[in-house]
């Protein structure tokens, strides 16, 4: 998560102080109460239904009550945004087991069931409403007849236990994000216009976002007589541009769906835990413990997109994507590393005005990996240099148009260039992780290192190498030095080898050239397959 500029590191004394002041400063740090580092867990619910049916986002009423019973019986203290404001000023007052209860989309069950139930527990809650839906604008069909009315929202908003947050006015839907037709969150997507083969400019995007948030705030003020101090990002997605706009408009708290607890210094961004229909009390306990974070093993692949340079139509691209997804699915990956550029770095796989565009498929690839294969982590591999003399416009467009979770710099990247790129990305991208191939960069602090190991070496040799790597002050990801053909790979076989090295994260390099055979099949009518197979 991106840290605010005012974030104060606990181990750093202010500059320009003498040694006596330094001693006093350090003593003050040691005397700070434990609440200084207190963390907030935020639970997110949608519909609370008597019969959830096939709605995966709806929780049964009995299970919801069981959740609330668990919180009450185990010392959790639900807090409000107003209280969080106080704790922000006085962190020592923050409860040790603070939680916040949030309810998205303004569903009628919040009025009919949730608020009365929470009143018996005296638990506060935050309801996030899409004001456009409240005004019957672009309401999803599955929500017809299921949303609160303005009168019902006014009634619950009078309760001291209820706070209302904006869920935007008309950003909770998808818009076209690439030439292939993917629909992605309107709040963070720079729209693609197929008629003009162009993308939304940054100024137009910023204006669209600001107008929408302003309208949402105005509607809540007009109907409820209150100005919201929080916004809940649709689908939990945000970037630094939309976050800055929200802060400018007075939305001091911003709910996402990032993982992990939220420390006070992480504000205004607030992480949340999504509770689904299948979420039992045991699941709630596991989520609140965050134990899964310690065992979140990365299973990844480094994939090149060069074969797509030969696909000269959208139809051929979709056939190749369909084949690629079919071959990746059995590997059960949760992370991929992609290059935004061709292997020789001469062409880009995304729209920009400074480097030749080989084919605009990077965003489509990421969308399909996430939506079809459930891959949660997407990293981009960046070379040490590009043919373009000016990196700024190339990487600015990359940050604007492509959504990714982190960057992996090639081994020959210098620390100064890496810092330059990181600074560019920080203007748009939030919460990025940075890694490097082979060894940490001099003058650049990386979150992880990807190290190649020869799978033909003996297990003892690999163990020695793995032991050496544990001295690196960053997470270590092992990667097969060999490149395996995508149509002839067994991750299970390699998994045993990697696990014997006692390294948590490992991956393989895949040769995607066999995908070229798909182009030959397309020319044969009897083997032609529908482009809808890739879907999304």
- Reported as type and span, the H/E element at residue 338 is strand 335-338
Q: What is the reported pLDDT for 453?
A: 81
Q: What is the reported pLDDT for 35?
A: 35
Tell me the pTM.
Answer: 0.87
Q: What is the reported pLDDT for 80?
A: 98
pLDDT-derived band at 24 (thresholds 50, 70, 90) equals very low
Question: Of all residues in the chain, what percent carry a pLDDT higher than 70?
Answer: 84
Cα Rg of the chain (Å, integer): 25
Question: What SS3 class is residue 118?
Answer: helix
Residue 18 has pLDDT above 70, yes or no: no
* Residue 437 vs residues 329, 447, 481, 496: alpha-carbon distances, Å: 26, 12, 12, 23
Work out the mean pLDDT of the chain and round it to a whole number.
87
Name the region of 143 (left: φ>0; alpha: ψ -120 to 50; beta: rest).
alpha
Query: Looking at 304-308, 330-334, 351-355, which range is the least confident one?
Result: 330-334
Q: What is the reported pLDDT for 2?
A: 34
Q: How many CA atoms lie within 13 A of 504 on its CB side?
A: 12
Q: What is the reported pLDDT for 469?
A: 64
Residue 359 has pLDDT above 90, yes or no: yes
Q: What average pLDDT does range 341-360 have in this prediction?
A: 96
Q: Which residues touch 253 (CB under 8 Å, ≥6 apart)? A: 81, 84, 165, 229, 230, 231, 267, 268, 270
Q: What is the reported pLDDT for 459?
A: 67
Q: How far apart are CA 200 and CA 400, in angstroms?
A: 10
* Residue owning tokens 């669209």: 208
Residue 36 has pLDDT above 60, yes or no: no
Q: What average pLDDT does range 294-306 have in this prediction?
A: 89
Q: How far apart are CA 338 and CA 330, in angstroms?
A: 19
Q: What average pLDDT does range 357-384 have in this prediction?
A: 96
* pLDDT tens readout for residues 63-99: 999 999 999 999 999 999 999 999 999 999 999 999 9
* Residue 413 vs residues 133, 338, 381, 446: alpha-carbon distances, Å: 48, 17, 11, 12
Q: What is the reported pLDDT for 523?
A: 62
Query: Looking at 115-124, 155-164, 322-331, 403-412, which range is the least confident one?
Result: 322-331
Q: What average pLDDT does range 350-376 have in this prediction?
A: 96
Domains of the chain: 38-290 (3.20.20.370), 297-533 (3.20.20.80)
Residue pair 535/180 in contact by the 8 Å Cβ criterion: no
Q: What average pLDDT does range 150-175 have in this prediction?
A: 98
Q: What is the reported pLDDT for 327?
A: 87
Q: What is the reported pLDDT for 500?
A: 67
pLDDT-derived band at 292 (thresholds 50, 70, 90) equals confident
Q: How far apart are CA 536 and CA 529, in angstroms?
A: 16
Q: What is the reported pLDDT for 465?
A: 63
* pLDDT tens readout for residues 428-480: 999 999 999 977 767 788 899 998 888 777 766 666 666 666 666 778 888 98
Residue 514 has pLDDT above 90, yes or no: no
Q: Count other Cβ atoms within 10 Å, centred on residue 240.
A: 17
Higher pLDDT, 526 or 406: 406
* pLDDT tens readout for residues 475-487: 888 898 888 887 7
* Residue owning tokens 């965050």: 290
Residue 493 has pLDDT above 70, yes or no: no
Q: How many CA atoms lie within 13 A of 338 on its CB side?
A: 24
Q: What is the reported pLDDT for 55?
A: 93
Question: Of all residues in the chain, what percent carry a pLDDT higher than 90?
Answer: 70
* Residue 405 vs residues 345, 348, 422: alpha-carbon distances, Å: 21, 19, 13
Output the six-digit token pair for 226: 């209150």
Q: Count other Cβ atoms within 10 Å, centred on residue 408.
A: 23
């Amino acid at each position: 998560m991106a840290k605010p500029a005012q974030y104060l590191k606990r181990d750093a004394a202010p500059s320009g102080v003498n040694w006596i002041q330094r001693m006093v400063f350090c003593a003050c740090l040691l005397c700070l109460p434990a609440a200084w580092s207190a963390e907030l867990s935020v639970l997110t619910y949608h519909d609370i239904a008597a019969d959830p049916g096939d709605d995966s986002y709806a929780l049964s009423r009995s299970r919801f009550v069981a959740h609330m019973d668990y919180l009450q019986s185990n010392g959790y203290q639900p807090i409000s945004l107003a209280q969080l404001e106080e704790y922000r000023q006085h962190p020592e007052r923050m409860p040790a087991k603070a939680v916040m209860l949030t309810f998205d989309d303004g569903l009628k069950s919040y009025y009919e069931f949730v608020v009365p139930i929470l009143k018996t527990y005296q638990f506060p809650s935050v309801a996030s409403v899409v004001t456009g839906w409240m005004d019957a604008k672009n309401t999803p069909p599955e929500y017809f007849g299921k949303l609160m009315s303005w009168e019902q929202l006014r009634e619950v908003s009078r309760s001291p236990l209820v706070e209302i947050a904006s869920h935007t006015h008309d950003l909770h839907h998808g818009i076209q994000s690439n030439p292939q037709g993917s629909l992605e969150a309107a709040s963070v997507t720079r729209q693609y216009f197929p008629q003009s083969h162009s993308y939304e400019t940054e100024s137009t995007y910023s204006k669209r976002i600001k107008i929408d948030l302003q309208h949402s705030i105005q509607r809540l003020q007009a109907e409820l007589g209150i100005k919201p101090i929080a916004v809940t990002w649709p689908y939990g997605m945000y970037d630094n541009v939309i976050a800055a706009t929200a802060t400018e408009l007075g939305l001091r708290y911003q709910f996402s769906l990032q993982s992990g607890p939220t420390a006070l210094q992480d504000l205004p961004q607030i992480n949340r835990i999504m509770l689904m229909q299948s979420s039992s009390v045991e699941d709630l306990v596991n989520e609140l413990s965050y134990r899964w974070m310690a065992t979140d093993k990365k299973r990844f692949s480094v994939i090149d997109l060069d074969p797509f340079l030969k696909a000269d139509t959208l139809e051929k691209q979709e056939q190749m994507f369909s084949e690629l997804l079919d071959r990746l699915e059995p590997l059960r990956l949760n992370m991929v590393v992609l290059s935004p550029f061709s292997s020789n770095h001469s062409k880009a796989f995304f729209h920009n005005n400074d480097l030749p565009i080989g084919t605009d498929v990077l965003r489509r690839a990421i969308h399909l990996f996430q939506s079809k294969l459930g891959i949660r982590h997407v990293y981009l591999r960046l070379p040490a240099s590009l043919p373009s003399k000016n990196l700024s416009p190339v990487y600015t467009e990359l940050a604007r148009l492509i959504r990714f979770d982190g960057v992996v710099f090639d081994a020959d990247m210098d620390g100064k260039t890496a810092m330059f790129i990181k600074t560019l990305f920080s203007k748009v991208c939030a919460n990025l992780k940075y890694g490097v191939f082979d060894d940490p960069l001099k003058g650049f602090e990386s979150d992880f290192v990807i190290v190649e190991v020869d799978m033909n070496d003996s297990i003892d040799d690999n163990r020695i190498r793995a032991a050496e790597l544990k001295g690196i002050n960053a997470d270590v990801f092992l990667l097969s030095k060999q490149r395996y053909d995508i149509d002839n790979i067994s991750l299970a076989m390699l998994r045993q080898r990697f696990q014997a090295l006692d390294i948590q994260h490992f991956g393989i390099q895949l040769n995607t050239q066999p995908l070229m055979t798909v182009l030959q099949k397309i020319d044969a009518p009897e083997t032609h397959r529908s482009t809808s197979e890739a879907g999304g």
